[in-house]
Structure 1
Amino acid sequence: MAKGRATAIGFGAILLWALLALFTVGSAPVPPLQLNAVTFAIGGAIGVIWILATDGFAALRGIPLRVYAFGTAGLFGYHLLYFSALRLAPAAEAGLIAYLWPLLIVLFSGLLPGERLNRLHVVGAALAFAGAALIVGGRLVSTGVTMTAAALLGYGLAFLCALTWSGYSILSRRLGDVPTASVAVFCLATSVLSALAHLAVEDTVWPATGTGWGALIALGLGPVGLAFYVWDVGVKKGDIQLLGTASYAAPLLSTLALVLSGLATPDWRLGAAAVLITGGAALAARASATGKHTGLRSSRGARSLP
């Protein structure tokens, strides 16, 4: 698959993740681990249907168990940390900390074989992060933040969340020969682990309205379903540095979705953030396209997943 096409496919995940907050709000009052279990079951079912249609089960049998463990840990760990962080700390600030993962992807990608971290990548990532900070941080200015022990723990979990997803994405690049169909197994295993954890620590609560059920199903089909498959294609075969920087569009698009649904109020920060995010992505695109030899660091030699 051509690198440009794979990158375009990876962008699909960013668009789908822009609906994550909207559908999550709509699926209330389903608790986090139950939400994880149901939505990843739907996401896994998408993969199973695709595998059946393409007769891809043979390829799955040759995948090492450590790869399945890695993928499951990435999906399960990220979402467990994310939901826990937003339960303990103010959602806006915890969300901003968690959204350090695109910046970390851009920076860590310079360690990959055959990749070069250009100064324009760093500048673009910094501009895009400033745009994301405007979107989420604006609410902190108006509401203030209460610093409690629980909030500090939540901020720590949010940072671990960013490390988890950036690490998962970078290491997925090292598994370029592993078929994307394996994501179906990751999703189903994540669903099982989430269900077990839910039964241990949560009370089961289902949506009370048709809208809630619709949001729950849409969440599983899109942001917690198809998004992981197209992201897998993007990070393995596409321009991972451009994808990492462009991922800052997700909080912008997510905010716009909330505004259009009446759940958020637009202000000047949206316009400024749009300029910063678009400019940052453009710089990263230029750096990737020109392949300038002003890299901060290049990597040598491929190593297998431990």
Structure 2
Amino acid sequence: MRSLVSVCAALLAVVLWATNATVAAEALRSVTALQLLTLQYGAAAVTLAFVGVCGTFGSRETVREARSQGTNSPGWRGLAVGMVGLTGTILLQKVSFAFAPVFDANAISYGWPLLIALWGAWSRGIARGWPQLLLSALGMTGVVMLLGVGAEAPSLGSLIGYVCAAGSAACMAFYTVAAGRLRLRTMQVLFPAAIAGTAIAWIGSEVSGATWPPVSEWLGSIYLGIGPMAAGYLLWTVASARGRPSVIAAIGYLTPFASTALLIAAGAPVTALTAVGAILILACNIGVLLLGRGESHREPGTAPKPSTPELLRDAGH
């Protein structure tokens, strides 16, 4: 049951993240990247605060635990993980959308499961981690094919966008691994990061001097904060802390495929390279899933997972 809950949480997060690029591309037609980030982070902060208040008042056990542990601060490590995972990932991704073609930047930024597989292979050593290395290489080849490399030489702005997209992927890979290791309380880590992101983006927007559009054109940006950012990160943190990293990372491989499919449905061009790249990414997803299941049967003596009530309690903090 615990494994099923973690997998379902990861899948729901992927569904929300898959809409990110399509909605962002539409929103950027009426707002600047910094304005979009201000609204997105602000909406995420309000949503996280609401979830935190509901979780606190809905659990007497949580209140007693918080009182017994004082401030129950996540510490500087937890705050740093939240800043890198939420602020860094989203900020770099939206900047990449502003500089590079959204279709290309989206494929690169959602290539972070490949980095997790590479990290797992490195930690195991070449002798034991070669299957992950092979799958990572194939998955990276799929991402490159999604980019449609060879159509034309990228401009300087596109190169900046690609670098930012790669940085976004690195931030998300770091957050996924660190969230599972530190067993972070979601609210205490993500809420400060959302507040910081709101402040940074708003200051940048005001310095740029861009005129704000009518409120009616904010809806897409606000959705990105409530859905892909707040709800997506809450679900993914729960999945990362309660599920096996190899299985959760494998589910993450579905994100670039689903996101690419939505972009294509919205009018992005389809090529033979795109189709082959998507197939390679899905094949890597299946391969890592199978490896993760095999490891779970070979590794006895693992610590027991928290119960479902504890999982739901942590999701509110």
Where on the TM-score scale, by shorter chain, does this alignment land: which range? 0.7 to 0.9
- Residue 71 (structure 1) aligned to one of 77, 82, 85: 82
After the TM superposition, which of the residue ranges 286-295 and 235-244 deviates more from structure 2? 286-295
Partner of 1:245: 250
RMSD: 3.2
Is the contact made by 1:258 and 1:264 (CA closer than 8 Å) also made in structure 2? yes
* CA deviation profile, 1:251-279 (whole Å, cap 9, x unmatched): 22122212333x22444445434432222
Partner of 1:220: 225
Instruction: Quote how far apart the aligned CAs of 1:161 are.
Output: 2.6
SS in 2 for 1:282: helix
Question: In the aligned structure 1, how far is the partner of 2:105 from the partner of 2:223?
Answer: 24
Partner of 2:7: 7
After the TM superposition, which of the residue ranges 84-93 and 238-247 deviates more from structure 2? 84-93
Question: In the aligned structure 1, how far is the partner of 2:295 from the partner of 2:86?
Answer: 32
Is the contact made by 2:21 and 2:102 (CA closer than 8 Å) also made in structure 1? no
1:141 aligns with 2:150: yes
Alpha carbons of structure 1 residues 81 and 117: separation in structure 2 relative to 1, 3 Å: farther
SS in 1 for 2:31: coil
* CA deviation profile, 1:206-234 (whole Å, cap 9, x unmatched): 258x5x44322322221122111111112
Partner of 1:45: 46
Once the two structures are superposed, the pairs formed by residues 122-137 of structure 1 within 5 Å of their partners are 122-135=133-146, 137=147
1:289 aligns with 2:293: yes
The percentage of aligned residue pairs carrying the same residue is 23
Is the contact made by 2:110 and 2:255 (CA closer than 8 Å) also made in structure 1? no
Listed as ranges, the gaps of 5+ residues in structure 2 are 300-317
Question: In the aligned structure 1, how far is the partner of 2:211 from the partner of 2:83?
Answer: 23
SS in 1 for 2:186: coil
Once the two structures are superposed, the pairs formed by residues 1-306 of structure 1 within 5 Å of their partners are 2-27=2-27, 28-55=29-56, 58=63, 59=66, 61-66=71-76, 67-109=78-120, 118-135=129-146, 137-138=147-148, 140-142=149-151, 144-148=152-156, 150-176=157-183, 178-182=184-188, 183-206=190-213, 210=216, 212-261=217-266, 263-291=267-295
Instruction: Quote how far apart the aligned CAs of 1:47 are.
Output: 1.9
Alpha carbons of structure 1 residues 111 and 179: separation in structure 2 relative to 1, 3 Å: farther
Alpha carbons of structure 1 residues 52 and 206: separation in structure 2 relative to 1, 3 Å: same
Alpha carbons of structure 1 residues 294 and 50: separation in structure 2 relative to 1, 3 Å: closer
Aligned amino acid, residue 180 of structure 1:
T
Is the contact made by 1:131 and 1:276 (CA closer than 8 Å) also made in structure 2? yes
Alpha carbons of structure 1 residues 147 and 220: separation in structure 2 relative to 1, 3 Å: closer
After the TM superposition, which of the residue ranges 214-223 and 36-45 deviates more from structure 2? 214-223
* CA deviation profile, 1:93-138 (whole Å, cap 9, x unmatched): 444443442211222245779xx97443333333333333322x22
Alpha carbons of structure 1 residues 145 and 61: separation in structure 2 relative to 1, 3 Å: farther
SS in 2 for 1:55: helix
Is the contact made by 2:39 and 2:218 (CA closer than 8 Å) also made in structure 1? no
Question: In the aligned structure 1, how far is the partner of 2:102 from the partner of 2:121?
Answer: 31
Question: In the aligned structure 2, how far is the partner of 1:54 from the partner of 1:86?
Answer: 35
SS in 2 for 1:141: coil
Alpha carbons of structure 1 residues 4 and 120: separation in structure 2 relative to 1, 3 Å: farther
